[in-house]
Amino acid sequence: MMLLLAAFAGCKTGMVWEKLPVDGHRTGVSAPTADNVPEAIGVVDTLTGAYTAPNGKVFTDGATPKVAALLLEAQPAMAEVKEVIAFSTRAMTAEAPESELSNFVVDFLRSEAEKIFKRKMDVGIVNFGGIRVDMPEGDVLLDDIRSMFPFKNKICFVELPGKELLRLMDDVALYGPQCLSGVKMVIADKKVESLEIDGKPVDPKKKYNVATVDFLLDGGDNISVARGATKLIISDVIIGSAIEKYVRQLTADGKAIEYQTDGRVVVK
């Protein structure tokens, strides 16, 4: 289980994020679903205020019983997001230059954009910072997906001339890899060493269809996908909501969440 902390640091976005592992070694506490709150969090005696943790330890003093009481009090309001909506065959993280989770997200974005805008998408790009928590192994809660995508980023279509796509990929190489789909790229010394789209070098005179999110259109995470665009359409589809719908459909079809890396982005 991971705890996501935000701290204000005078940065461009106003805060920075840090993931800390939480293993519940003192209490045995784990993330609850809607149906296993006492087993996952424990119980607080309403008369004495004593807290009995899932591992059987009893706490009567200090902050632990008070924190436990607050957590338990909040659970009814959180019941909706504790719904199990999917199953993941293994834990997945979003790590540069590519990872199972980031590939899952950006490949979905590209596919979903093709359905929304009814045209082939040559490239998909999402920022790693837009994927806020990891995919757990086993049951996936609605809370996991909503925490993974807390921002209301809209799915967009951008038509870019090849020369602008090359400029975009130069920025990706310079400022750090982002989640990419449809691309085979090698980065060396923060520069593009090689780049292929659909198995071919980028033609500076050709126009390419790019799927992205509105946060990256004009400077988010140092990426400006829409710079030099010849067409731009911003849908009203929120990427997090679309992925929530998709994983629910996987479950309805009897399928689990699983994905793979394929060497699409290499940093030397």
Please indicate, yes or no, whether residues 143 and 194 belong to a single structural domain of this protein.
Answer: yes
pLDDT at position 69 over 70: yes
Please indicate, yes or no, whether residues 69 and 183 belong to a single structural domain of this protein.
Answer: no
Last residue of a domain, one of 82, 99, 129: 82
What does residue 242 show for φ and ψ, rounded to 5 degrees?
Answer: -65, -40
* Contact predicate 125/220, CB 8 Å: no
Query: Nearest to residue 123, comparing CAs of 154, 151, 96, 157?
Result: 157
Please indicate, yes or no, whether residues 76 and 144 belong to a single structural domain of this protein.
Answer: no
Please indicate, yes or no, whether residues 91 and 63 belong to a single structural domain of this protein.
Answer: no
| Predicted pLDDT of residue 8 | 47
**How far, CA to CA in Å, does 100 sit from each of 92, 137, 178, 188, 217?**
6, 13, 13, 22, 25
What is d(CA 97, CA 128) in angstroms, rounded to the nearest whole number?
Answer: 9
What does residue 41 show for φ and ψ, rounded to 5 degrees?
Answer: -105, -30
pLDDT at position 268 over 50: yes
| Predicted pLDDT of residue 175 | 96
Please indicate, yes or no, whether residues 126 and 249 belong to a single structural domain of this protein.
Answer: yes
88-135 confidence digits (pLDDT tens): 999 999 999 999 999 999 999 999 999 999 999 999 999 999 999 999
Please indicate, yes or no, whether residues 27 and 90 belong to a single structural domain of this protein.
Answer: no
Last residue of a domain, one of 63, 82, 101: 82
138-182 confidence digits (pLDDT tens): 999 999 999 999 999 999 999 999 999 999 999 999 999 999 999
Q: Where are the alpha helices (H) located in 79-135, listed in sequence order?
A: 100-117
| Predicted pLDDT of residue 15 | 56
The range of the structural domain enclosing residue 19 comes to: 2-82
| Predicted pLDDT of residue 96 | 96
2-43 confidence digits (pLDDT tens): 445 545 444 445 555 565 666 778 899 988 888 899 999 999
Give me the mean pLDDT over the 75-87 stretch: 92
pLDDT at position 266 over 70: yes
CA atoms within 13 A on the CB side of 185: 30
- Tally of domains in the chain: 2
Please indicate, yes or no, whether residues 61 and 128 belong to a single structural domain of this protein.
Answer: no
Please indicate, yes or no, whether residues 166 and 141 belong to a single structural domain of this protein.
Answer: yes
Last residue of a domain, one of 48, 82, 116: 82
Sign of the dihedral defined by the CA atoms of residues 175, 179, 185, 187, in that order: positive
Please indicate, yes or no, whether residues 94 and 69 belong to a single structural domain of this protein.
Answer: no
Please indicate, yes or no, whether residues 37 and 130 belong to a single structural domain of this protein.
Answer: no
41-64 confidence digits (pLDDT tens): 999 999 999 999 999 999 999 999
| Predicted pLDDT of residue 73 | 94
* pTM of the entire predicted model: 0.83
Please indicate, yes or no, whether residues 251 and 152 belong to a single structural domain of this protein.
Answer: yes
199-253 confidence digits (pLDDT tens): 999 999 999 999 999 999 999 999 999 999 999 999 999 999 999 999 999 999 9
